[in-house]
Amino acid sequence: MPDKFLSEFKIGKGIEPSQYSALTLAYIGDCIFELYTRLYLIKDCDYPVKVLHKNATKYVKASAQAEYFRRIEGILSEEEMAVFKRGRNVNSRPTKNADLFDYKNATGVEALIGYTYLKGDEDRLFELLSYLTEPTT
């Protein structure tokens, strides 16, 4: 994300990412996760919007984000794992189509992505997000 985008809203000025609530981190992380997914889907081709939306939901639904966590779990630092757990353990209710375990893990993933974004650590953010689009083995 361009620096001007962050500076326009004074993000990161006066409040440390660790001071945001877990749900606020998840809120911004959800946005970043979805933006990354959408940009990934249009990088090679201009598909109809209906196709793009259908493909995007495969990445951003709770079960997919829970699977994504299993991919990145082994490379997380203690600090990152603590942020994930803050998000995972927050008291929230799953959507009607989501399993509680998947939903909680998805919230943890979103909190981690939001935290990394707000820290301004673009290299780490893109490293973590690159696991989203890796083929499963």
Report, as residue numbers or ranges, the catalytic residues. Answer: 30
Cα–Cα distance for residue pair 71/66, rounded to 1 Å:
9
- CB atoms under 10 Å from CB of 39, counted, come to 9
Tokens 């990412």 belong to residue:
17
Both ends of the chain: CA-CA distance in Å?
30
b vs e for 74-106, b when ≥16 Cβ sit within 10 Å of the residue's Cβ? eeeeeebeebbebbbebeeeeeeebeeebbbbb
* Phi, psi of 58, deg, nearest 5: -65, -30
Q: How far is CA 54 from CA 10, 13, 66, in A?
A: 34, 37, 19
